[in-house]
Amino acid sequence: MSTDITSNDLDHAHDGHDDHDHKPKGFLNRWLFTTNHKDIGTLYLFLSLIAFLVGGSMAMVIRAELFMPGLQLVEPDFFNQMTTMHALVMVFGAVMPAWVGFANWLVPMMVGAPDMALPRMNNWSFWILPFAFTMLLSTLFMDSGGPASGWTLYPPLVLQTGNSLAFVVFAVHMLGISSIMGSINIIATILNMRAPGMTLLRMPMFVWTWLITAFLLIAVMPVLAGAVTMLLTDHFFGTNFFNAAGGGDPVMFQHIFWFFGHPEVYIMILPAFGVISEILPTFSRKPLFGYSSMVYATATIAFLSFIVWAHHMFTVGMPLQGELFFMYATMLISVPTGVKVFNWVSTMWKGSMTFETPMLFAIGFVVLFTIGGFSGLMLAITAADFQYHDTYFVVAHFHYVLVPGAVFALMAATYYWLPKFTGNMYSEKWGKIHFWLSTIFVNVLFFPQHYLGLAGMPRRIPDYSPQFADFNMISSIGGFAFGATQLIFVGVILHCIFRSKVKATGQVWEGARGLEWTLSSPPPYHSFTTPPEVSHNMVRHAD
């Protein structure tokens, strides 16, 4: 913290007088040993972009195999490894680190802090990740192959993984440690380092949603760590937590896993809600509608996420009372979520809207995420879930909330803040092309999967009955096109960082409000070393 900044200042007092930002000299010093929140944010964002492409390639393998009925390209076991690794890489490698990256960049600037509360731990929480991913991905090249049980790692199936299971478990441990440290850092920054006048209810929605997300992470990542540790000891040390032959219970794993797993899906989507709540007011040139109800709705969603886990396992043979409880609790979540969607629509209502790329992605999010929400309501109906369970309907549902949901929000955030981060404008033309191609093909990719699921096509199976052939082919074509479209995204980002000649102003967007827009673009390497005084007219919301 403050000591770091002074020692950096001392170290570099003699060199680089033209470099008034006092960036560390040399590639290793700058990136490997960095304690600067902006550098660490950049590292997180690049890691997640790479993971997005790696996980995306695995999805291409899946869609290529499913292009036609029959087994064409890969062995069934490798197909199952692909579905498992695609999910693990996308969840833990693409979406979660991307949100931590944005939190690193933005939370200190948004609350007027000079850096994160614990800069050295911040460095550590990032640099664990590349090692964890190397371990996880290396299992694909081992004799026993990668995990092939689906990302939920259900026993007894997952216990049939060979010795590579140990690598998977330790990788999950490391990812969990990284997330917990990142969360502690974010909470400490938000609670202790806000500038004078930045009261809790003046904080931007992105900061609020991340504060709540960080608490969710600290509450559930250790539970996942416990569950996979039990898998490890069941596999290697003869314990019987989940082994029915030894008096254990495989269904108990599902309970423990989903106690983590359901809050986990909100960990991926709450920061997205925050980003959308930042972007819509900017391009509608209106304050966010219902700011405090947004805060309370987020907190309510977070609380409810702890009491709905068994809706993932309606078919395991729960008593009727249990099924009814989890059904009603799940449906209850649509109330605070509905509050959010109506607030977003009301924010746009009668606004002077313009449709720059971030706004397009934000509106795309509101529409397509809501479709995913509705299919979630259908799945919540216990009786109907017995038909939908483990079919492509479920796949369509969670991809709608994760791809045009969380991933679109990440893209919106990228287009929105990239000019702030780099000081250069991205290409609006190519941004818009990226948006329209993504939006069209994400629907070509996932919408037919609703029909496949309703017709009974099971998920995680490399072959299917010929009756499902047409929709699978359409879905695969959408998948290839969506995948190729993301290369445009990579191109736009690289062009913006390295080639763009158009300089961004400090405020970047006409309607942008909030502390980060009061800084220059790019912001100085050490921003807000003297805390700003926050007045009411600097915050986004009216109430």
Partner 1 sequence: MNQQQKNRKTIRRLVLMAIGMFGFGFALWPLYNVFCDVTGLGGRAIQISENNNQAVASHRVVSIRFDATVNSSLPWVFQAKEKVHEYNLGVPSKALYLAMNPSDEALTGQATYNVAPPEASLYFVKTECFCFTEQTLQPHESREMPVYFYIKDDLPEHIKDITLSYTFYRQGYTPSGGMNHH
Piece of 156-164, 286-294, 501-509, 519-527 that binds partner 1 (CB under 8 A): 156-164
Q: Is 287 in the site for partner 1 (CB under 8 A)?
A: no
Type of residue numbered 329: A
Minimum CB distance to partner 1, residue 472 (Å): 32
Give yes or no: 18 in active site. Answer: no
Peptide bond into 522 cis (omega under 30): yes
Give yes or no: 151 in active site. Answer: yes
Distances from the Cα of 240 to the Cαs of 155, 173, 250, 312, 344, in angstroms?
A: 11, 21, 10, 24, 49
Q: Is 155 in the site for partner 1 (CB under 8 A)?
A: yes
Residue with tokens 């809207």: 353
Type of residue numbered 354: T
Give yes or no: 391 in active site. Answer: no
User: For the chain, how many residues are written?
Assistant: 543
Minimum CB distance to partner 1, residue 2 (Å): 8
Q: How far is CA 76 from the centre of its chain?
A: 29
Residue with tokens 């795309």: 364
Given candidates 202, 235, 389, 434, which one binds partner 1 under the rule CB under 8 A? 235
Residue with tokens 């972009």: 49
Angle at 525 between CA 521 and CA 531, to 5 degrees: 90
Taking the least distance from each CB to partner 1, the nearer of 3 and 535 is 3
Piece of 91-99, 222-230, 356-364, 384-392 that binds partner 1 (CB under 8 A): 222-230
Contact 425, 502 (CB under 8 A): yes
Given candidates 32, 142, 191, 367, which one binds partner 1 under the rule CB under 8 A? 191
Q: Is 221 in the site for partner 1 (CB under 8 A)?
A: yes
Would you call 235 exposed, middle or buried from its count of C-beta atoms within 10 A (0-12, 13-18, 19+)?
A: buried
Site for partner 1, residues 325 to 384, rule: CB under 8 A: none
Instruction: Please tell me the chain's helix, strand, coil percentages from 3-state DSSP, rounded to the nearest 5.
Output: 70, 0, 30
Piece of 145-153, 223-231, 329-337, 432-440 that binds partner 1 (CB under 8 A): 223-231
Q: Is 188 in the site for partner 1 (CB under 8 A)?
A: yes
Q: Is 399 in the site for partner 1 (CB under 8 A)?
A: no
Q: Is 310 in the site for partner 1 (CB under 8 A)?
A: no
How far apart CA 64 and CA 511 sit, in angstroms, is 44
Kind and range of the H or E element at 487?
Answer: helix 469-494
Given candidates 51, 94, 96, 117, which one binds partner 1 under the rule CB under 8 A? 117
Piece of 151-159, 194-202, 418-426, 471-479 that binds partner 1 (CB under 8 A): 151-159
Give yes or no: 86 in active site. Answer: yes
Contact 404, 361 (CB under 8 A): no
Contact 265, 297 (CB under 8 A): no
Catalytic residue among 39, 264, 278, 516: 264
Taking the least distance from each CB to partner 1, the nearer of 5 and 440 is 5
How many residues of this chain interact with partner 1, rule: CB under 8 A? 45
Residue with tokens 């441990």: 173
Q: Is 490 in the site for partner 1 (CB under 8 A)?
A: no
Catalytic residue among 63, 311, 399, 540: 311
Give yes or no: 434 in active site. Answer: no
Q: Is 222 in the site for partner 1 (CB under 8 A)?
A: yes
How far apart CA 201 and CA 101 sit, in angstroms, is 24
| Calculated CA dihedral for residues 165, 171, 173, 176, nearest 10 degrees | -140
Given candidates 18, 20, 143, 245, which one binds partner 1 under the rule CB under 8 A? 245
| Calculated CA dihedral for residues 20, 39, 407, 434, nearest 10 degrees | 50
Give yes or no: 277 in active site. Answer: yes
Taking the least distance from each CB to partner 1, the nearer of 34 and 149 is 149
How far apart CA 506 and CA 500 sit, in angstroms, is 16
Contact 375, 400 (CB under 8 A): yes
Give yes or no: 178 in active site. Answer: yes
Q: Is 231 in the site for partner 1 (CB under 8 A)?
A: no
Q: Is 12 in the site for partner 1 (CB under 8 A)?
A: no
Site for partner 1, residues 200 to 219, rule: CB under 8 A: 218-219
Piece of 30-38, 249-257, 280-288, 297-305 that binds partner 1 (CB under 8 A): 249-257
Distances from the Cα of 361 to the Cαs of 391, 406, 407, 423, in angstroms?
A: 29, 11, 10, 21
Q: Is 148 in the site for partner 1 (CB under 8 A)?
A: no
Give yes or no: 234 in active site. Answer: no
Catalytic residue among 37, 63, 86, 397: 86
For the record, the structure tokens of 367 come out as 């529409």
Piece of 65-73, 95-103, 176-184, 400-408 that binds partner 1 (CB under 8 A): 176-184
Q: Is 259 in the site for partner 1 (CB under 8 A)?
A: yes
Minimum CB distance to partner 1, residue 326 (Å): 14
Give yes or no: 235 in active site. Answer: no
Q: Which candidate, 495, 507, 415, 481, places its Cα nearest to that of 56? A: 481
CB count within 10 Å of CB 67 equals 17
Given candidates 223, 474, 488, 538, which one binds partner 1 under the rule CB under 8 A? 223
Distances from the Cα of 427 to the Cαs of 359, 378, 414, 511, in angstroms?
A: 15, 40, 13, 20
Q: Is 162 in the site for partner 1 (CB under 8 A)?
A: yes
Minimum CB distance to partner 1, residue 222 (Å): 4
Give yes or no: 311 in active site. Answer: yes
Distances from the Cα of 36 to the Cαs of 104, 406, 497, 501, in angstroms?
A: 9, 26, 19, 26
Q: At what angle do helices 205-236 and 250-284 cross, to 10 degrees?
A: 160
- Give the footprint of partner 1 on this chain (CB under 8 A): 1-2, 117-118, 155-156, 159-162, 180, 183-184, 187-188, 191-193, 218-227, 230, 234-235, 238, 241, 243-247, 249, 252, 255-256, 259, 318-319
Q: Which residues are catalytic?
A: 86, 115, 151, 178-179, 262, 264, 266, 277, 311-312, 337, 340, 459
